[in-house]
């Protein structure tokens, strides 16, 4: 459900604020990197 709301918001934002989408995609990339780092930390702690 959260994903659907976000998609609706992003499509609205694309119409209203094209530059805002650039910031959102950068934040998405940062979040993905943070998730990868979390996984690496978990793996290191298990060893």
Per-residue pLDDT of the chain (47 residues; tens, 9 = 90+): 566 776 777 777 666 666 766 777 888 889 999 999 999 999 999 88
> Domain of 33?
2-46
Domain count, the chain: 1
| Per-residue pLDDT, 37 | 94
**47 DSSP 8-state letter:** -
Residue 8's pLDDT is 77
pLDDT score of 39:
92
φ, ψ for residue 13 (rounded to 5)? Answer: -65, -35
Q: Is-above-0.85 flag for pTM?
A: no
Task: Of 35, 34, 31, 36, give the one whose Cα is nearest residue 6.
Answer: 31
Residue that has been written with the tokens 């994903």 in this structure: 3
Residue ranges with strand state E in the chain:
none
């Amino acid at each position: 459900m959260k994903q659907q709301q976000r998609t609706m918001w992003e499509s609205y934002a694309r119409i209203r604020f094209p530059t805002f989408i650039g910031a959102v995609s950068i934040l998405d990339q940062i979040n993905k990197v943070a998730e990868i780092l979390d996984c690496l930390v978990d793996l290191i702690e298990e060893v």
